[in-house]
Amino acid sequence: MIKPQLISFTVTSEDWGDDIENFAVDVQIDIGPYNTEGADTFSFRVISPKRLELYLDGNNVEIGRGIFIMKDYNIGAIQFQVNRLLDNCKGDSWREVALLLSRYFHWEYEE
């Protein structure tokens, strides 16, 4: 059984609105099979409910994959959630694991 591990966690951009309750932060994570070399890149956006409301203003639908929603920006809580998801995405091949991860994150090799 292949278990994924977090190799790196990088904030790639931050967009803070007029107040601390209005933010969008883009994150890139590298994830690879546990105890092996190599990793694939995944990404996601962390947004506040206030920012989500702005996204929905004038739009009817916002797709939720690759989006983490939280009221108060807390990088420790985000990393905890990522690791929790990794613990639940095991498979018989790396491709199977990566496809499971792509339910939550944008995968660099998505078809």
| Residue range 6-57, pLDDT digits in tens | 999 999 999 998 888 999 999 999 999 998 899 999 999 999 999 998 888 7
| Residue range 69-82, pLDDT digits in tens | 999 999 999 999 99
Which has the closest alpha carbon to 29: 97, 109, 103, 106?
106
pLDDT at 111 over 70: no
Asked if 25 and 13 count as a contact pair (C-beta separation under 8 A), the reply is yes
The domain of 16 spans 4-107
At residue 75, the pLDDT reads: 95
**Cα 26 from chain centre:** 8
E strands, 39-91, in order = 40-47, 67-69
79, amino acid identity: Q
103 CB-near residues (< 8 Å, 6+ apart): 65
Alpha carbon separation from 61 to 21, 42, 57, 64, 102 (Å, rounded): 22, 23, 10, 9, 20
25, amino acid identity: V
Q: How far apart are CA 22 and CA 49, in angstroms?
A: 8
Question: What is the arithmetic mean of pLDDT over 87-99?
Answer: 95
| Count of domains observed in the chain | 1
